[in-house]
């Protein structure tokens, strides 16, 4: 154990270099900065904004329209002049983004069903949220006013009937049934809730697998490149422990990096979406809980096992591949096929329903050990435990065989004599 810890500490030191830490800090800082920036811009866009009103009509109807705007998210400022061009210049000078023109006879035209126009001028000087958001706020308010006016008209024509019924004589009520449980909610909302709740799992997984595979491969290739491997193989430590130390250190560092990346990304996403996507959204949790689609200790454990064995399988395959790399440059070429096998199930499970895939694609998906955690999330949510358990058993067998092969390579001549010279082969073509 002491010897293993000695090697493990060294392997961690080899991985955690300034070249690794510096980009990580920069990335976290950039994501944090962008998140804060977007958040503050969104906040600004959501805050009540000034709009200039050119009220040419000056009727009681136009006055009531301006009052309604105040109840919305706008601060109407009456223009001193009825000249649109002058008013636009004032708006430009005062950095006011929207000018609303209420035309002459507006009130009268409304009452006589002539559908008058309100002109909305957007003063654009950038494509920021502030610039593009205001006209839609104004249009939203006008929509509300339209609704209110039409309701008034309906009330006068259909006395005693609520205007909403006249406008929509038929309505629907959505229900969703999952695992025999019924909830009064639409399938869209459940699907969105599930996606937003579980968005993070495949991303974490893909990150961890890719990072750890790259780190492990570099670690092994560095031993060869720095010509330290021969010495390491003669020190009194069991060969499987050498393999295990490298796998564990790569896994631990990759996990830490992935967590840092995800927190940085989450802080950015929270800024962009105003907190609708990210860890622990309560509304989402309630919908899923109602349908029994929330994680229980059992489902968490099964998903955890599936993720763990996917990472282990990736590390074991990487160890075998890296044993054939001559130096760190070869590692990238070595890992390309592995990356494809990690990204393929990620996209297949994200954009398709695995059940509806063609048989060859389905077989490919199930044979790839990294697919199973991506599949497990959905299966566990819908109470399909058997495919998850079978997947875990397959992953265990796959990892075990690969680790045996990797340990064999490290205990044989092959670790020193096996070489695949990618660059030379490429140049030879």
Partner 1 sequence: MFALEVKNLTKSYGSLKALDGASFEINEKEIFGLIGPNGAGKTTALRIIATILSRDGGDISIFGMELGKDDEKIREIISYLPEEAGAYKNLTGNNYLNFMAGFYAKNVEEKRQFVDAGIEIADLGDRLKNKVSTYSKGMTRKILLARSLMMMPKLAILDEPTSGLDVLNSIEIRKIIKDFVKKGVTVLLSSHNMLEVEFLSDRVALIDKGKILETGKPEELKQKFSARNLEEVFMEVVR
List interacting residues with partner 1 (CB under 8 A).
2-3, 6-7, 10, 13-14, 17, 226-228, 230-231, 233-238, 412-413, 416-417
Q: Which CB, 168 or 231, lies closer to partner 1?
A: 231
Closest contact distance (angstroms) between CB of 189 and partner 1 is: 52
Closest contact distance (angstroms) between CB of 314 and partner 1 is: 25
Closest contact distance (angstroms) between CB of 364 and partner 1 is: 36
Q: Which CB, 13 or 139, lies closer to partner 1?
A: 13
Q: Which two tokens stand for residue 390?
A: 């079978």
Closest contact distance (angstroms) between CB of 73 and partner 1 is: 57
State the pairing for strand pair 74-78/49-55: parallel
Torsion angles phi and psi, residue 399, rounded to 5: -65, -45
Interatomic CA distance for residues 288 and 283, integer angstroms: 9
Q: Which CB, 146 or 226, lies closer to partner 1?
A: 226
Q: Which CB, 8 or 422, lies closer to partner 1?
A: 8
Q: Residue 409: which H helix or E strand, with range?
A: helix 385-411
Residues sharing a CB contact under 8 Å with residue 106, sequence separation 6 or more, in sequence order: 56, 57, 59, 61, 62, 116, 118
- Report in angstroms the alpha-carbon separations of 165 from 8, 124, 162, 326, 355: 72, 40, 6, 76, 42
Closest contact distance (angstroms) between CB of 413 and partner 1 is: 5
Interatomic CA distance for residues 15 and 242, integer angstroms: 15
Interatomic CA distance for residues 23 and 142, integer angstroms: 49
Closest contact distance (angstroms) between CB of 389 and partner 1 is: 38
Alpha-carbon torsion 57, 60, 64, 67, what sign?
Answer: positive
Q: Which CB, 225 or 273, lies closer to partner 1?
A: 225
Q: Which CB, 11 or 55, lies closer to partner 1?
A: 11
């Amino acid at each position: 154990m002491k010897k293993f810890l000695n090697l493990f500490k060294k392997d961690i030191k080899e991985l955690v270099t300034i070249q690794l830490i510096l980009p990580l800090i920069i990335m976290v800082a950039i994501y944090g900065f962008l998140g804060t920036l977007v958040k503050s811009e969104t906040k600004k866009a959501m805050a009540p904004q000034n709009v200039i009103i050119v009220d040419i009509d000056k009727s009681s109807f136009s006055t009531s329209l301006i009052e309604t705007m105040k109840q919305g998210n706008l601060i109407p400022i009456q223009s001193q002049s009825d000249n649109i061009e002058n008013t636009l210049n004032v708006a430009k000078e005062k950095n006011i983004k929207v000018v609303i023109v209420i035309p002459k006879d507006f009130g009268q035209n409304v009452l006589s069903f002539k559908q008058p126009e309100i002109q909305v001028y957007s003063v654009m000087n950038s494509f920021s949220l502030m610039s593009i958001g205001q006209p839609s706020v104004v249009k939203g308010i006008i929509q509300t006013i339209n609704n209110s006016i039409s309701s008034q008209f309906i009330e006068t024509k259909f006395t005693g009937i609520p205007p909403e019924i006249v406008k929509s004589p038929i309505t629907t009520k959505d229900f969703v049934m999952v695992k025999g449980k019924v909830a009064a909610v639409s399938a869209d909302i459940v699907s969105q809730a599930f996606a937003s709740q579980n968005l993070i799992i495949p991303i974490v997984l893909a990150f961890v697998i890719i990072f750890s595979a790259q780190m492990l491969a570099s670690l092994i290739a560095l031993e060869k490149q720095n010509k330290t491997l021969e010495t390491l193989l003669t020190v009194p430590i069991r060969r499987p422990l050498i393999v295990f130390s490298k796998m564990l250190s790569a896994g631990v560092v990759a996990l830490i990096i992935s967590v840092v990346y995800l927190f940085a990304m989450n802080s950015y996403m929270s800024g962009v979406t105003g907190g609708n996507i990210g860890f622990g959204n309560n509304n989402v949790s309630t919908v899923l809980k109602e349908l029994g689609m929330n994680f229980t200790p059992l489902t968490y454990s099964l998903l955890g096992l599936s993720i763990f064995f996917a990472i282990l399988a990736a590390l074991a395959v990487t160890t075998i591949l890296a044993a054939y790399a001559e130096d760190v440059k070869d590692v990238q070429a070595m890992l390309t096929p592995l990356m494809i096998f990690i990204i393929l199930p990620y996209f297949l499970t994200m954009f398709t329903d695995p059940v509806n895939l063609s048989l060859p694609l389905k077989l490919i998906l199930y044979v790839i050990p990294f697919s199973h955690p991506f599949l497990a999330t959905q299966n566990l949510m819908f109470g399909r435990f058997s495919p998850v358990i079978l997947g875990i058993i397959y992953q265990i067998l796959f990892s075990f065989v690969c680790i045996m092969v990797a340990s064999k390579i490290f205990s044989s001549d092959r670790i020193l004599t096996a070489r695949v010279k990618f660059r030379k082969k490429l140049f030879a073509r």
